[in-house]
Amino acid sequence: KKLNAKDFKKEVLRALSKGNTELNVQIKDFTPSFYASDLAGVKNDVEAIISKKVFIEFNGKKEPLTKQDILKVLDFSKTKQGDIQIVLNPTALKNLAIKLSENYEVTPRGTVLKVNGDTIDFTPPVKGISVRTSELEANLKSTLEKLLQSSNLEEEFVILIPYDEVNPPVSQNDYGITELIAEGVSYFKGSDYNRVRNIITASSKIKGTLVAPGETFSFNKAVGPITLESGFNQAYVISKGRTTLGTGGGVCQVSTTVYRAALNAGLPIVKRTSHSYRVSYYEQQAPLGLDATIYQPSVDLVFKNDTKNYILVYTELDEKESKLSVKIYGTKDGRTVTITEPKYEKPIPPPPARYIDDPSLPKGKLIQVEYPAWGGLVTYTRIVKDKDGNIMYKDDFKNYYTPWAAVYKRGTKE
């Protein structure tokens, strides 16, 4: 059976916009190239491949490429004789090259030294690192092809990370970062310890990110891998339509605040996705619809610096007040920004409450982690005008929210 993902997405959006609960989904039959039973003969070969010694080398230092990463790039094809052979998946190779690039790239970052009203002084950054992703992809392909052909289990394979050093402008004046352009604010009262730690970690990782004129800011690139090894904790996240424990729960508090700053700055929003349902944290002292979710590696928040100077993305966090601020510094070009009041259309009531067993809590103890939220469509418009009053951008934002039940953590510890 095969489902057309694009058609399915359109149908879901259509149903949400009309408040329908029924979906008209077409599932088609197709004949696969081979079946799971056909792969039994290559199982031992796959196990031998992923057990080989494969290393990533960057700036003279080596670290192993994980078995999971190797496994993800393997694919299978059938020869004319009907035999199954192990090959490399081009799309998976490209994705791995992008992932590794993001792991090793270092964006030049500035540090704010002094703020005088809306003007600032900051330290120019040291050199950054830019990975040559296309060349890395070629290195991966050639090395892993040798891996597939080798029968020597003791042979060592090394993949070089090609990179260039990125020189920052010579002096502070070359950046054109002189004043505050815009600010985004969000509040996270009621967040548990791990969620707060993740907010602190993510905000510190993007703090000081510089975006050159004409370039884009990618939240996923700026924050880096959201893993336990990168300093993130396990906290509740939205995954596959459920609230569940996952690494980095709370990071979307930061992406949401960055979105608000970029929105207020009048910068073009290149990529942005609202959450699948309304989350109470993002409505603290804020209207509906001003949230932005991220989910690595596919869902990202991206905006463009279309000014003539660098911009500096800076974060300030007040843990006592549960307040996060994202400030965008640069040089004002006279543009003005108007954002209409969000309209809440076609509201859908929340379903009954849900309970999540939590073995860390005493049996019988209930902690509410999500509040019931109505679903529906939320729309608003942003109009950006230049210094002469000409319209630069008119953006219509549509946010589809699934109705959500109250969610409780229920203790099961004896």
- pLDDT for the residue numbered 112: 63
Please indicate, yes or no, whether residues 51 and 190 belong to a single structural domain of this protein: no
21 — pLDDT class (breaks 50, 70, 90): low
Please indicate, yes or no, whether residues 150 and 214 belong to a single structural domain of this protein: no
Contact (CB, 8 A) for 57 and 160: yes
- pLDDT for the residue numbered 236: 65
Please indicate, yes or no, whether residues 281 and 384 belong to a single structural domain of this protein: yes
Please indicate, yes or no, whether residues 70 and 13 belong to a single structural domain of this protein: no
1 — pLDDT class (breaks 50, 70, 90): low
Please indicate, yes or no, whether residues 158 and 193 belong to a single structural domain of this protein: no
Domain that holds residue 158: 32-104+129-162
Sort strands 354-362 and 407-413 into parallel, antiparallel or unpaired. Answer: parallel
For residue 269, is pLDDT > 90? yes
Which residue(s) pair with 74 in the sheet? Answer: 88
Residue the block writes with tokens 């959500």: 404
- Of residues 372 and 5, the one with the higher pLDDT is 372
- Tell me if the bond preceding 297 is cis, omega within 30° of 0: yes
pLDDT in tens, 282-321: 999 999 999 999 988 889 999 999 999 999 999 999 999 9
Least confident of 32-46, 137-151, 221-235, 376-390: 32-46
Please indicate, yes or no, whether residues 141 and 233 belong to a single structural domain of this protein: no
For residue 217, is pLDDT > 90? yes
Question: How remote is the C-alpha of 204 from its chain's centroid?
Answer: 16
pLDDT in tens, 135-194: 999 999 999 999 998 888 788 999 999 999 877 666 556 778 888 999 999 999 999 899
pLDDT in tens, 97-127: 988 988 888 776 666 656 666 666 666 666 7
